Structure 1
Amino acid sequence: MAPEQMAEPPEAGPVPPPARPLDAIDQDILQMLQADGRASIRSVAERVHVSRANAYARINRLIEDGVIRGFGARVDHERAGQGTSAYITLKIVQNSWRTVREQLRVLPGASHIALVGGDFDVLLLVHTPDNRALRELVLTRLQAIPEVLSTRTLLVFEEEDLEPEG
């Protein structure tokens, strides 16, 4: 195998348990928590028709299994002072995904990173205060990463998060 075709070694870290199948109650709990991550155990239990202890155990199992990765707030980026959003596509050096990902994770305003197939390798969603900050991010920060071969910026004119029905 040529060096450029060799895969990177697997990442170190804890190995998650094997995924367990989710039943209808688990699916209902997930839907409810996606709509309202602050829902009480009592309200979850009532909605899915199980005891509070059962709801608590199920939520803990979903967390332990890595199905639920965390809880957070859905932010209106414009109202939070991040009025410019863009998807940035990147072409990167072959087999440099892990290295590039670590550098993208710390970029100010980076919101979502995906390794994809197609005409480019990485799709990055960023939120910045304005076009000047976006330009600085792309021209100074992204294009300075040695493994980034090229970028293309797609400015977002309007966006809407699709929220689960609650």
Structure 2
Amino acid sequence: MESDAPSPLDRTDRRLLDEVQRDARLTTAQLADRVSLSTSPCWRRLKRLEEQGVIQGYHARLDAARLGWGVTAFVHIMMESHNAELGSQFEDAVMRIPEVVACHNVSGQYDFLLQVVARDLSSFGEFARSTIRTLPGVKEMNSSFSLKEVKAPRALPV
């Protein structure tokens, strides 16, 4: 019987993952050189890690400010009930909102934590009133604003 669990990562897998997180634009040959493999085994390892879901995609990191997103807000959401259907409706709605760049179901006083980008404080206020507060099941919201990004989401420790 086959397991859905990924096979354990060895030292070479970890080095591959570390290098890919640093620069996903490396060619297989460049990556192989950095981890002391030949090209074919390197490619096979990458494909295996992709098939196992360890590598979920390759992305470019964009500068929010240069794209006109001057405000980053963290919005705590308290739901009116813990009904599973209502939670699913909320999650589905959030997935369709481009300004919500991250959403976590969290423990504690609130149920969800949203990371939201906005052009400025005024546009965030309008977005909060017209979009966030109208999401299914929202009972309460509490917002905090990033004053400075100290450490951006980047590489996971491998």
Count, aligned residues:
150
Q: What TM-score does the superposition give when structure 2 sets the normalisation length?
A: 0.88
Structure 1: runs of 5 or more not aligned: 1-15
Residue identity over aligned pairs, in percent, reads 26
Q: Does 2:12 match 1:25? A: yes
Q: 1:105 to 1:56 in 2, by over 3 A?
A: same
Paired residue for 1:125?
115
Q: Which moved more, 1:142-151 or 1:89-98?
A: 89-98
1:38-84 deviation line (CA, Å, top 9, x unaligned): 11101111111111111111111111111111111111111111111
In angstroms, what is the RMSD of aligned CA positions? 1.8
Paired residue for 1:161?
152
Partner Cα separation in structure 2 for residue 34 and residue 130 of structure 1: 31
Q: Does 2:40 match 1:49? A: no
Partner Cα separation in structure 2 for residue 61 and residue 31 of structure 1: 16
Partner Cα separation in structure 2 for residue 42 and residue 51 of structure 1: 8
Question: How far apart are residue 162 of structure 1 and its match?
Answer: 5.0
Q: What TM-score does the superposition give when structure 1 sets the normalisation length?
A: 0.84
Q: Which aligned runs of 4 or more in structure 1 are off by greater than 6 angstroms?
A: none
Q: Does 2:73 match 1:86? A: yes
Is the CA contact 2:78–2:110 (under 8 Å) kept in the aligned structure 1? yes
Structure 2: runs of 5 or more not aligned: none
Q: Which residue identity lines up with residue 98 of structure 2 in the other structure?
A: P
Which of 64, 71, 76 is 1:77 aligned to? 64
Partner Cα separation in structure 2 for residue 21 and residue 99 of structure 1: 36
Which of 38, 63, 67 is 2:25 aligned to? 38
